Each structure stands twice: as structure tokens, then as C-alpha cells.
Structure 1
Amino acid sequence: MTNNLSTNLDEKLFALNIPGNVVEVTTTEAEKLGAFEEDALTENEALDASQETSESEDEE
């Protein structure tokens, strides 16, 4: 199983080097590649934070 995963992953990594190519990976493959859960602010969260900062500065 591990060897098959490595072979498939190698093929997918090779395919990623082809411009415009879209490659789907499994959760296991993504973890093996070092993928991470996105925890950045959303656009709305960033705007809200920026407005809170502006309001605090206006009060001073």
C-alpha cells in the first residue's frame, strides 16, 4: 500500500509540473505533502479588524 501511494504521489507531483494541469490529491496524499489547514482571516474578518482599529484611533 505504501509503495502504491508513493508511486501515485510521484505521478501526481510530475503532473503538477505541467502548466495548467489540475491534480486532485487525497487527504492522505495532502498530509504526506505537508498540506495544512488554512487558518488565515477571511476578507470580512480582516475588514472588521481594520474598522475596529480605525474606531479606536478615532476615539483617541
Structure 2
Amino acid sequence: MAYRHVSEEERKQIYRWKHDGYNMRKIGELLNRHRSTLQKSASSPIATALCLISLSC
């Protein structure tokens, strides 16, 4: 399976679901992605800042 980067829309959805209390395993199932891929994306400081700005939190 080829690696795909997490898109901006997926990243926004990850943060929404995390805010709503979903764990990474459930989010991975919903996005059809492995949870470690999502954790790496969500833990990036630049990605976090950009996502929070775009969500207007």
C-alpha cells in the first residue's frame, strides 16, 4: 500500500474528533488510516498550529 500524506481536511477532522473525545484508534477506523499515521500528523507542531488557525479555535 502506498503512503498518502494526511490532507488538510483529514487533519481538521482529526482535531474535531479528538476535541469530541474520540481516540486515535476510532479516528483511524473512520478515516481508514492507521492510527500511527494520524498520531504522527497530529503531533507535528507546525501541523497543529496550522490546523488550529484554520479551525478558528
- Structure number with the higher helix fraction is 2
| Shorter-chain TM band | 0.3 to 0.5
Work out which of the two has the higher radius of gyration on C-alpha atoms and give 1 or 2.
1
- Greater RCO (CA < 8 Å, at least 6 residues apart): 2
